[in-house]
Amino acid sequence: MTLGQKLRTLRQLEGPLRGLDREMTQSEVARAIRQELHGTISQSYLSLIEKGTRPHLSHSSRQLLAKFFKVHPGYLVSDPPGFHYELASPVGSDERTVDRWLLDGAARLAADAPLSAALERLAARADSRRCLMLLDEMATMPGLLDRLSDTLLPRQSRTAPGDDSSRPTVRRGGSATEERT
């Protein structure tokens, strides 16, 4: 990620943090730095950084922006080519990388037990990458996923968590009936 991309991301995050329903503009950042930190950074300087025309910050500008956005000054530099934030090593095979990704997704989606279990089962297969490629092909065929879903999946497991379409509806008399779609 370049310095310009990082600065743009910080502006996008700072807007909602300050109660805006949008990102902060470069002018608003320059104005806020002037008012809150009594420092000076111009909108045009921020623009040059974000465009990549100016690839580096001066020391004082880096300190000021780091203080304003509440990040470490070392964050405000471009990452070296090939740098990755995640700890995954490129040495592993594609299959192991896909399996790791699936297991990570299963852990993150633990609240959705059926989906989490499906991702774990998929990761346990020796050909999980091929299974995902097959699913991609199936998704492009009109109606195929719906037909397979109707045939292979019970109605309860087809709905997303929080989806009311499979829950009984209560009528005035107090009796529950299954709603058909």
pLDDT at 150: 87
List average pLDDT for each run of 10 residues in the chain, which is 181 residues long: 91 91 93 94 94 91 93 91 66 74 88 90 89 90 87 67 45 40 41
pLDDT at 67: 94
Ramachandran category for residue 19: left, alpha or beta (phi over 0 → left; psi -120 to 50 → alpha): left
pLDDT at 166: 43
pLDDT at 165: 45
Domains, the chain, ranges and CATH?
3-75 (1.10.260.40), 94-155 (no CATH)
How far is the C-alpha of 148 from the C-alpha of 140, rounded, in Å?
13
Instruction: Read off the pTM.
Output: 0.48
